[in-house]
Amino acid sequence: MEAGSYKPTINPSWTLFLDRDGVINVESVGSYITNWEEFQFHDGVLEAMRLLSQVFGRIVVVSNQRGVGRGIMTLDTLREIHANMQSAIKRHGGRIDKIYAATAVSDEDHNRKPNTGMALQAQQDFPEIDFRKSVMIGNSMSDMEFGKRLSMYTVLLTSKLEPVAMPNDIVDAQYSALIDWAATAVAAEPVQHG
């Protein structure tokens, strides 16, 4: 769709941070995915995850899941959804190394995006993570702000927002779907990280 002039050279020293709803699965706008039966992968995501697993050293999901804090679903149900999601991705040749979920209701919670708590947890779990060698892919401006607070390369998926004017202070590239960016990232010619 549209990228800025800079495209990172992805290699196994890089980490991919992914939002879940609207990136991996079809988002239930105005509601929550409360069980596995409601979960539906976006078109091309399983192939995208296979491709991205070949080039990124680490892949983690960082997802705001306020529905748990509001009592709409249990933490056990959320874990079941995530276990099923990871299994399906693995069966198709992809991987997710770990999933982090911010379940607090308050926007002030340090884990809730755009706050950076989930990324800092990931770095504790995987000390090799370098945020300057990381990509954040999400479908909201809070995802983009989360990434930029840590100097990540940010990719906006326009699954719920209109494309933004480029260049943009917090969006480095934008695509309509994860598979579109994955195909570009995997085929990208090497360039130096500026």
The residues annotated as belonging to the active site are 19, 21
Residue length of the chain: 194
For the chain, give the longest Cα–Cα distance: 47
CA atoms within 13 A on the CB side of 138: 24
Picking from 86, 41, 56, the residue whose alpha carbon sits closest to that of residue 179 is 41
Which strands, in side-by-side order, build the sheet including 134-138? 2-3, 173-175, 153-157, 134-138, 15-18, 58-64, 98-102
Residue tagged 């933004």 (tokens): 164
Instruction: Show the tokens assigned to 78.
Output: 């959320």
